[in-house]
């Protein structure tokens, strides 16, 4: 079993502290279409920080943590929660579903993981998700353009946040809560009734539904996230910002409209949590050793054949939130290169390398062909994508079970060759390599 030492991370921490008293901000994001293994890497890195802030997305996310065989899937609670000394914060950019949030808290309390409520805080500015937003999300999926959403109300919630009708957690305690609910429902009910032919939702039933959450969430309220972050950094605390989804699900730079409804790249951590980019020391990008996507939308590297099925079975590629089978293919390097640029990624965590064991040949997309010309960037334009052909490079496979290896030099030569090609192509150091689902299944090559 691999044992993680993390001396390199320790030393980077120490060096940064010698240079400045202010703590470090690290941002972690997914570099592809989500499910890259972010939860596992956050759980691991949380050992080295004081706070973990989940900065965007909602319960559309499913972050899996495995510790000595015990598996937990988190949708809203930050993946640092397994570390009792780490404070976890649900940030202002999060779509907070109070039902799912409460269920998660109760499960973690019952499992003796949350022992002290002071370990968790929820920003008063986090968007509060209401059942009507889920109803609308699901109704929209019956429309002509199906996005393949998780049905968790994410699109309607962010829409309401941006149109300034949506509720935030702090509104639960506002004197005019009823007026705020009324204001939202007046418009949404028109859509429900007259566009989708569904029954309207009454203000009094929403208020009744919200009532128990007032006391349940009172102990977790955080009034001013930017102030809290600044004060913690100022006294030398280190903060890890946990992203959800992945670069090409980003509303602005993903495969629009087949995207989620929040900004998923590193800059979003600053924008939603209220701190500046100059506080950021590391931007960790998480990518799988192959590609997956769940939901509709273009996926250039997709292998809709036996290879895709082999990857799905080997990697157990079924959604952590919806259980849907994930679409699979070989790694897509031009796309990852673009994701690295969009995030300003400084270090890479390459997960699920073990899944490739047993393949005679491993392939990687290294270029695209479009109208007889080569393209080396990911053209998120759907029209271009329709006519894009991936160009592959082939690598020798390996057969060994690599989950037992804790150091890089013990990996089979073919596995190292593959990792080094990825590192050279992306021009970013592969600092962590996932060799199995467990927290300890990791090779730390240094930051
Ligand atoms: P996230 O949404 O990015 O946190 O990723 P998910 O949890 O949705 O999906 C990643 C899946 O891969 C989970 O089942 C993890 O337990 C698993 N996983 C993460 N890293 C590794 C790894 O290095 N090897 C293997 N075999 N599984 C991994
Ligand atoms: P994590 O954090 C993978 C996908 C959905 C759909 C699209 C829009 O676990 O990596 P939404 O419900 O957000 O409106 O759906 O985005 N999607 C994800 N795919 N991992 C996720 O999160 C995802 N969150 C949303 O499948 O295609
Ligand atoms: Mg996931």
Please choose from 138, 245, 315, 326 the residue to mutate so as to test ligand 2's pocket, defined by most ligand atoms within 8 A of CB: 245
How many angstroms separate the CA atoms of 426 and 338, rounded?
9
In 117-165, where does DSSP find H-type helix? 131-140, 154-162
**Who's near 106: CB < 8 A, 6+ residues apart?**
none
Q: Do domains 23-124+223-444 and 127-219 have the same CATH topology?
A: no
Is the CB of 62 inside a 6 Å radius of any atom of ligand 2?
Answer: yes
Report the predicted TM-score, pTM, of the whole model to 2 decimal places.
0.95
Can you tell me whether residue 232 is helix, strand or coil? helix
Q: Which atom of ligand 1 is nearest to the CA of 71?
A: 16
Question: Residue 21: how many CA atoms within 13 Å on its side-chain side?
Answer: 4
CA dihedral 331, 28, 252, 303 (to 10 degrees): 20
Distance, CA 101 to ligand 3 centroid (Å)? 16
Which amino acid residue places its CA nearest to atom 26 of ligand 2? Answer: 295
pLDDT of residue 8: 54
Q: Which strand ranges, in their side-by-side order, compose the sheet holding 167-168?
A: 95-96, 127-128, 167-168
Q: Any bridge partners for residue 373, and if so which?
A: 370
**pLDDT tens sequence for the chain (447 residues):** 343 444 555 455 555 544 558 999 999 999 999 999 999 999 999 999 999 999 999 999 999 999 999 999 999 999 999 999 999 999 999 999 999 999 999 999 999 999 999 999 999 999 999 999 999 999 999 987 899 999 999 999 999 999 999 999 999 999 999 999 999 999 999 999 999 999 999 999 999 999 999 999 999 999 999 999 999 999 999 999 999 999 999 999 999 999 999 999 999 999 999 999 999 999 999 999 999 999 999 999 999 999 999 999 999 999 878 889 999 999 999 999 999 999 999 999 999 999 999 999 999 999 999 999 999 889 888 999 989 999 999 999 999 999 988 899 999 999 999 999 999 999 999 999 999 999 999 999 999
Nearest ligand atom owner, CA of 57: 2
CA dihedral 180, 181, 185, 186 (to 10 degrees): -40
Active centre residues (catalytic): 35, 63
How many angstroms separate the CA atoms of 184 and 174, rounded?
15
Distance, CA 144 to ligand 1 centroid (Å)? 32
Is the CB of 22 inside a 6 Å radius of any atom of ligand 2?
Answer: no
Residue ranges of domains in the chain: 23-124+223-444, 127-219
Architecture of domain 127-219: Orthogonal Bundle (1.10)
Please choose from 64, 247, 249, 359 the residue to mutate so as to test ligand 1's pocket, defined by most ligand atoms within 8 A of CB: 64
Residue 95 has phi, psi (to 5 degrees) of -90, 100
pLDDT of residue 1: 38
Q: Which strand ranges, in their side-by-side order, compose the sheet holding 120-123?
A: 221-222, 120-123, 87-90, 51-54, 239-242, 25-30, 280-288, 347-351, 430-434, 442-444
> DSSP characters for 247-261?
GGG-TTTSSTTSS-S
Please choose from 78, 327, 437 the residue to mutate so as to test ligand 1's pocket, defined by most ligand atoms within 8 A of CB: 437
Q: Which atom of ligand 2 is nearest to the CA of 249?
A: 16
**In the CATH hierarchy, which fold is given to the domain comprising 23-124+223-444?**
Adenylosuccinate Synthetase; Chain A, domain 3 (3.90.170)
Which amino acid residue places its CA nearest to atom 19 of ligand 1? Answer: 37
Sign of torsion over alpha carbons 307, 310, 314, 317: positive
């Amino acid at each position: 079993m691999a044992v993680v030492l993390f001396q390199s991370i320790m030393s980077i921490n120490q060096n940064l502290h010698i240079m400045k008293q202010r703590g470090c901000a690290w941002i972690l994001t997914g570099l592809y279409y989500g499910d890259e293994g972010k939860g596992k890497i956050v759980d691991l890195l949380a050992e080295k920080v004081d706070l973990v802030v989940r900065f965007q997305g909602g319960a559309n996310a499913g972050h899996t943590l495995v510790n000595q065989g015990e598996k937990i899937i988190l949708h809203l609670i930050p993946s640092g929660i397994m570390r009792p000394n780490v404070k976890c914060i649900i940030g202002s950019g999060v779509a907070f579903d109070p039902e799912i949030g409460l269920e998660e808290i109760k499960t973690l309390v019952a499992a003796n993981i949350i022992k002290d409520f002071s370990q968790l805080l929820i920003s008063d500015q986090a968007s509060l998700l209401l059942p009507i937003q889920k109803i609308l999300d699901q109704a929209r999926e019956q429309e002509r353009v199906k996005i393949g959403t998780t049905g968790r109300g994410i699109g309607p919630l962010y829409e309401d946040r941006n149109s300034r009708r949506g509720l935030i957690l702090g509104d639960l305690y506002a004197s005019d809560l009823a007026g705020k609910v009324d204001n939202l429902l007046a418009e949404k009910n028109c859509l429900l009734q007259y566009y989708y032919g569904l029954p309207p939702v009454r203000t009094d039933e929403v208020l009744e539904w919200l009532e128990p959450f007032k006391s349940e969430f009172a102990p977790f309220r955080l009034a001013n996230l930017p102030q809290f972050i600044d004060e913690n950094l100022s006294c030398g605390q280190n903060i890890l910002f946990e992203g959800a989804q992945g670069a090409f699900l980003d509303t602005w730079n993903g495969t629009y409209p087949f995207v989620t409804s929040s900004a998923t790249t590193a800059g979003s951590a600053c924008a939603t949590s209220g701190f500046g980019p100059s506080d950021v020391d590391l931007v960790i990008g998480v990518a799988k050793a192959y590609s997956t996507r769940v939901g509709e939308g273009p996926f250039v590297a997709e292998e809709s054949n036996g290879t895709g099925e082999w990857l799905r079975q080997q990697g157990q590629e079924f959604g952590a939130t919806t259980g849907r089978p994930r679409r699979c293919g070989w790694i897509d390097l031009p796309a990852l290169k673009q994701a690295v640029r969009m995030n300003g990624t400084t270090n890479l965590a390459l997960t699920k390398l073990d899944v490739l064991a047993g393949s005679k040949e491993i392939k990687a997309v290294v270029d695209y062909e479009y109208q007889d010309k080569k393209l080396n960037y990911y053209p998120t334009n759907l029209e271009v994508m329709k006519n894009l052909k991936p160009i592959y490079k082939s690598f020798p496979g390996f057969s060994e079970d690599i989950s037992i290896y804790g150091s890089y030099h013990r990996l089979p030569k073919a596995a190292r060759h593959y990792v080094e090609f990825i590192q050279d192509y992306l021009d970013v150091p592969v600092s962590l390599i996932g060799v199995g689902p467990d927290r300890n299944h990791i090779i730390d090559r240094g930051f």
